Amino acid sequence: MADLLDWVSLSLVPGLGVTGLGRLVDCFAGADGVFQATAKERSQIGGIRAEALLGLTDVAAVRKRGEQELDRLAGIGAQALCLEDQDYPSLLRQTSTPPPVLYIKGRTELLESCCVAMVGSRAATSYGHRIATALAHDLALRGVAVVSGMALGIDACAHAGALSAPGATIGVLGCGLDVVYPQQNRRLYEQIGECGLLVTEYPLGTRPEGFRFPARNRIIAGMSYGVVVVEAARKSGSLITAEFALEEGRDVFAVPGQVDSFKSAGAHWLLQQGAKLVLSAADILEELPLCKGLRRDYLGESGQAQGPEVVDAELLDLLAMIEPYAMKRDALIAKSGLAPGQLAEFLLRLELDGLVEMLPGDEVRRTGHGGEKEP
């Protein structure tokens, strides 16, 4: 506990930052060594800001702030992990700039689960929403913890899709654990805190400022075996996350979109650079053979998750006729040969299982959760 207190206390020193803290800890053989060193010895370490050196002059006050932070964390059911803690995620520890301290709330065992990040546009299209939700759902069914950044759009769909499996998801914040951002995701924030895991490198009360989000993105990539970009513009935070992944030797995946959509330009550029094309969860899972805890019983040969309730042969035959693109109910009646009443009953059962979606204009389409059958 004393080591954790020293790490947390150091991380709260104004102006020290990740790089400065790392230099001090390396030079003085640990966080406790930084406090045991004299002010003169600390001032001789290059690259440390004057503001940080001044902040370290009153060691008792610095440690007092650390104690108060740990007490406040305990009060909201959260905790801190330092870089030396055995529970600190090993993948993240291996990166070039791991956060010295992580603040976490929720299921701590997820820190060592098989993690895959999913990121994309905040202003995503309905296509992006649908694909992110379906992919996250299918990955979570197989035991993958879906990591994302709690933003609107693709991030929110990735978290929600994983929770619907039911499955695990990790939300990495660009603010303190006690700050909900954006406010529209409050319910999702609460669900992840209860059923998943919230992670941040920022102490309680830290507000979401623009510069914090690229730093957050390195954690998203660093915790994960790979990063999936669903929909992203050519210049976006999602591509920053993908770049972090590449720098750390992690896999990068991209979902193709409409060729003339600027919202998919970033994903298409990644594909041109050699990212793996993703059409289903199976394309991601086959790159994770060493991940522990993956379940093998949910995916069929198509690579799509099979709904456990869909066992009726007639339902499967109908599902195979329904395309991912919207089609008229009349066209489906003609194709299936079913009576209108029977078709309505079957469509309702498929919709309740989450395998099809009914659309305005008396149209229907298959969702990402439905498996296909060879004709």
Please say whether the beta carbons of 286 and 300 come within 8 A: no
Q: Do 313-366 and 108-285 have the same topology in CATH? A: no
Predicted confidence at residue 119, as pLDDT, reads: 97
User: 273: which 2 tokens?
Assistant: 């650079």
Give the Cβ contact number of residue 8 at 10 Å: 25
pTM over 0.75, yes/no: yes
Where would I find the H helices in the chain? 2-11, 17-27, 31-36, 39-43, 50-55, 59-75, 90-93, 126-141, 154-163, 186-195, 212-222, 237-247, 265-272, 281-285, 313-321, 329-336, 340-352
Q: How far apart are CA 164 and CA 9, in angstroms?
A: 38
Reduced to 3 states, what is the DSSP secondary structure of residue 177?
A: coil
Domain range 108-285, CATH class: alpha beta
- Domain map of the chain by residue range? 2-75, 108-285, 313-366
Query: What is the spatial distance between Cα 110 and Cα 146, in angstroms, rounded to a whole number?
Result: 10
Q: Are 146 and 162 in contact (CB under 8 A)?
A: yes
> Can you read off the two tokens belonging to residue 2?
């004393």
Q: Tokens 């490198």 belong to which residue?
A: 201
Which of 1.10.150, 2.60.40, 1.10.3470, 3.40.5 would CATH assign to domain 2-75?
1.10.150
Counting as low any pLDDT under 50, the low residues of the chain are: 298-311, 370-375
Q: How far apart are the first and last CA of the chain?
A: 62
Cβ pair 375, 320 in contact under 8 A: yes
CA nearest 221: which of 89, 87, 55? 89
Q: Which fold has domain 313-366?
A: Arc Repressor Mutant, subunit A (1.10.10)
